[in-house]
Amino acid sequence: MARPIRRIAVIGAGTIGASWAAWFLSRGLEVVASDPSPDAPGLIRRMVETAWPILQQLGATADADPGRWRFEPDPVKAVEGCDAVQESAPERYEVKQPLLRAISAALPEGALILLSSSGLLVSRLSEGCTHPERVVIGHPFNPPHLIPLVEVVGGTTASPEAVQAAVAFYQAIGKYPIVLNKEVPGHLANRLQAALWREAVHMVAEGVASVADVDAAISQGPGLRWALMGPHATFHLAGGEGGYAHFMHHLMPAVTSWWESLGNPVLTPELQKALIDGVTQETGGRPIPALAADRDAALVRLLAAKTG
Ligand SMILES: NC(=O)c1ccc[n+]([C@@H]2O[C@H](COP(=O)([O-])OP(=O)(O)OC[C@H]3O[C@@H](n4cnc5c(N)ncnc54)[C@H](O)[C@@H]3O)[C@@H](O)[C@H]2O)c1
């Protein structure tokens, strides 16, 4: 049986782990963080400090305490006595597998191991774990303290109870979990992103538009709708009063004929340079932290608009 989650171990505290730590703290959880890098405690401190005013705006619980975390460099010691783990170590089987084997042996009975992996298979990640049935993908989006979606994948190895417990946990802390019925590389949302990015690269490679205009084609166009409804519901409305059925009848031949000419670009060094130069020009060379701060402030307004 799943344990109530009050103390959670954040194993791997880089970009994603530190952001998870901030979100967990804002929801009243106690956090034990672990990372081999000596810079990790400083990163967590800065992340929590910077994000705290936003997290309060987003509904931090009354018992939330930005100081209720400690750092333990040894991951096995870190998970001792924890009710769950959110693992966010580098995206490589050879790093995650030995780590998961070690921590799964040290966890208390019924504790869930949730994995932030962007696209690795849970059935391979959990190989050799003491309790593979409790290892579940809980894939967030950057930054996890702002984006609601969490993809939950149990694959062929997690128990249905563990998948259910993961969903219940993420719902209880204010996230929007969706369950994938099958495991596939890249899960779901990253596959959708990858399909779009492939075409965005192809359009630049073919000289159809500049990097900035390809980006504007999404951010000033369909991207505005996509924050409100996904591709299926968007086309349901594109069909007018006849909905998706009319859309299929009317536009499907045209759209499926475009599918045939979608690109499969090769990311040569020259193409990579053109893309990097293009995005540097688009963003006026502004430093990443400044761009991320602007994005995060706008995301908070967007989330408020969606719920308001
Ligand atoms: N960056 C994203 O946009 C994003 C989004 C969603 C999910 N993820 C996933 O989150 C995970 C972490 O990605 P990230 O972007 O935070 O990477 P990152 O490089 O910022 O952080 C990884 C952290 O893991 C630490 N680490 C290295 N070896 C370790 C080990 N053996 N045990 C524990 N920690 C170790 C590193 O010191 C570093 O602090 C990956 O699985 C990635 O796929 C990333």
Per-block average pLDDT, block size 10, for the chain (308 residues)?
Answer: 88 98 98 98 96 92 97 98 98 98 94 98 97 97 97 97 98 98 98 98 98 98 96 95 94 92 97 98 96 93 89
Q: How far apart are CA 65 and CA 209, in angstroms?
A: 48
Helix (H, G, I), strand (E, B) or coil at 176: strand
Please indicate whether residue 95, judged by its CB atom, sits closer than 6 Å to ligand 1.
yes
Please tell me the predicted confidence (pLDDT) of residue 242: 95
Residue of 165, 161, 163, 119 lying closest to 139 (CA atoms) = 119
The domain 189-307 is classified under which CATH number: 3.30.70.260, 2.40.10.410, 3.90.700.10, 1.10.1040.10? 1.10.1040.10
Q: How far is the CA of 183 from the centre of ligand 1 (A)?
A: 20
Residue matched to tokens 């593979």: 132
Dihedral angle computed from the Cα positions of residues 149, 153, 158 and 161, in that order, rounded to the nearest 10 degrees: 50
Query: What separation in Å is there between the alpha carbon of 165 and the centre of ligand 1?
Result: 24
Instruction: Provide CATH 3.40.50.720 ranges for the chain.
Output: 7-180
Any atom of ligand 1 within 6 Å of the Cβ of 242: no
Ligand 1 centroid, distance to 126 Cα (angstroms):
17
The CB of 185 under 6 Å from ligand 1? The reply is no
Side-chain half-sphere CA neighbours of 91 within 13 A: 12
- Residue ranges, CATH 1.10.1040.10, the chain: 189-307
The residue written with tokens 């730590």 in the block is 21
Confidence (pLDDT) at 3:
78
Residue among 113, 38, 107 nearest 78 (CA)? 107
Ligand 1, residue 37: give the atom nearest the CA. 37
Report pLDDT for 1: 59
CA dist 61 and 28 (Å) reads: 6
Ligand 1 contact via 19 beta carbon (within 6 Å): no
For atom 12 of ligand 1, which residue has the closest CA? Answer: 88
DSSP state of 33: E
Return the CATH class of domain 7-180. Answer: alpha beta
Query: How close is the Cα of 199 to the center of ligand 1, in Å?
Result: 27
Residues 17 and 96: beta-carbon distance below 8 Å: no
Q: Indicate whether residue 89 lines ligand 1 (CB < 6 A).
A: yes
**11, 16, 87: which to mutate for ligand 1, most atoms within 8 A of CB?**
16
Nearest-CA neighbor of 111 among 129, 95, 88, 97?
A: 129
